Amino acid sequence: MLERTMVKIEGGVCAAKGFQANGLNCGLNPDKNKNDLGLVLSDVLCDTAAVYTSNKVKGAPITVTKANLEKSGKKSKAVIVNSKNANTCNADGVEKAQKMCQLTASELNAKGYEVKAEEVIVASTGVIGQILPIEPIADSMQALVAGLSYDGNQRAANAIMTTDTVMKEYAVSFELDGKTCVVGGMAKGSGMIHPNMATTLNFVTTDLAIDAELLQKALSEIVKVTYNCLSVDGDTSTNDMLTVMANGLAGNPKIDSENEDYEVFKTALYEVLMNLTKMLAKDGEGATKLLECSCAGAPDLDTAITVAKSVICSPLFKCAMFGEDANWGRILCAIGYADAEFDIDKVDVALASANGTIEVCVDGAGVAFSEEEAKVVLGADEIYILVNLKQGDVSAKAWGCDLTYDYVKINGDYRS
């Protein structure tokens, strides 16, 4: 990816030109202060790319979205999404997901937007195995469409939250051939988060003009080093979906080859997805700390990713970080069972935060350090695990969070 100045801006999914959004409470969630139905709309048809959960059990909305994108030739114009109910493992799930697309298209057409049902992306999140009532969604569609606006991003971002404690949005602007382009997105997720795919529900918009096949290639490559390096609890959800809609309204010459403009776009997409990934990790259910493991000195990218993810996914290590215990042996243990080839006797490990850095392992063996100093370092809310294999020049990062008492409490009564 090319180095290029990326300017963080506000607006989430509405930051790019030509995207409107809205969200409201339709009654799926009894808490009337919480939105549970969201809508994103582009002024024009978008080239679209998507990635989905690797779980064999897939929510009906994924089945319908895949079919819609195939039928439309990887084109979309709108996203309809609900929270509180995942619409998964239900006999009428596909029918309900299709109905959501039809209801959305019908109401948008009534307002003059010209949208086909197969141009609608549909997604759901929430409890698995409960029948999704379509009536509240149908009854609220008119108000949902009427409330669309070019600054409605936060209403939509609120609508996709389940156990999330904060909304997750990120957007950047950058210059391309004299045109200002934007990539922005929103995400939800707090628990049931683990590679691979993407994990959680994520919707990204851009006003860049780019070929659909290249858009898919870029998304797949960037997901590998962002969302697929994220783990909260080891559970891969049934409804995970990440879509990117590109409407071309920035006016740049359409990217149709893997040229410099393509690399700049990948840099922007990485910036957005990486920051959303970190937000998801930091807001893990019951979490008190964001954990970021950097693996440097690897012989290749897959080895770097595998080692970093192995550390982040270790329940014992996550518990140690909650207790602010520099039990570095758990890190070496996790590195040791990583499914990759390297010499463990060359590995260095350090722990770092805004409060300082302590070296805990050199050449695969422990070194003396101050437990008091370690406690100070681990007292911060963002902890960095620095692993150096010293066997190459490739690096990668993975993100997660600590494992706390509250995680068990939250998931002990999730359905209520």
pLDDT at 193 over 70: no
* Residue 249 placed within a domain: yes
Q: Where does the pLDDT of residue 412 fall: very low under 50, low under 70, confident under 90, or very high at 90 and above?
A: confident
> CATH number of the domain that 263 lies in?
3.60.70.12
100 and 231 part of one domain: yes
- Catalytic residue list contains 205: no
pLDDT at 169 over 60: yes
Q: Is the pLDDT of residue 318 over 70?
A: yes
Active-site position among 104, 199, 206, 306: 199
**Which domain-ending residue is among 227, 248, 280?**
280
Q: What is the pLDDT of residue 18?
A: 98
- Cα–Cα dist 239/183, whole Å: 23
For 177-235, the DSSP string reads TTEEEEEEEEEE-SSS--SSS--SEEEEEE---B-HHHHHHHHHHHHHTTGGGB-SSS-
| Whole-number pLDDT of residue 50 | 94
Mean pLDDT over all residues of the chain?
91
**Tokens representing 100?**
């959501």
Output the pLDDT for position 231. 76
pLDDT digits (tens, 9 = 90+) for 41-91: 999 999 999 998 777 767 899 999 999 999 999 999 999 999 999 898 899
Domain count, the chain: 2
Q: What's the confidence (pLDDT) of residue 234?
A: 57
| Residue type present at position 39 | L
Instruction: Check whether residue 258 and residue 322 sit in a common domain.
Output: no
Same structural domain for residues 84 and 41?
Answer: yes
pLDDT of the residue at 239: 66
241 has pLDDT over 90: no
The band of 238, judged by pLDDT with boundaries at 50, 70 and 90, is low
Domain assignment present for 2: no
Q: Check pLDDT > 90 for residue 215.
A: yes
Structure confidence by residue, pLDDT tens digits, 347-402: 999 999 999 999 999 999 999 999 999 999 999 999 999 999 999 999 999 998 88
Q: Which residues of 355-390 are buried (b: 16+ CB within 10 A; e: fewer)?
A: eeebbbbeeeeeeebeeeebeebbebeebbbbbbbe
- How much is the pLDDT for 311? 96
pLDDT higher for 115 or 53?
A: 115
pTM of the model: 0.88
pLDDT at 189: 72
Summarize pLDDT for 248-261 with one digit per residue, the tens: 999 999 999 999 99
Percent of the chain with pLDDT over 90: 78
Q: Is the pLDDT of residue 94 over 50?
A: yes
Question: What confidence score (pLDDT) does residue 164 get?
Answer: 80
Residue where a domain stops, chosen among 280, 308, 327: 280
Residues 275 and 397: beta-carbon distance below 8 Å: no
Q: Is the pLDDT of residue 198 over 50?
A: no
For residue 66, give its domain range: 7-280
Does some domain include residue 166?
yes
One domain for residues 132 and 254: yes
Those residues with Cβ within 8 angstroms of residue 206's Cβ, 6 or more apart along the chain or in another chain: 16, 181, 182, 183, 184, 244, 245, 246, 247, 250, 265, 268
| Residue 285 in domain | no
Cα gap 207→245, rounded to integer Å: 8
Residues 241, 345 share a domain? no
The 3-state secondary structure of 259-302 reads CHHHHHHHHHHHHHHHHHHHHHHHCCCCCCCEEEEEEEEECCHH
CATH number of the domain bearing residue 375: 3.10.20.340
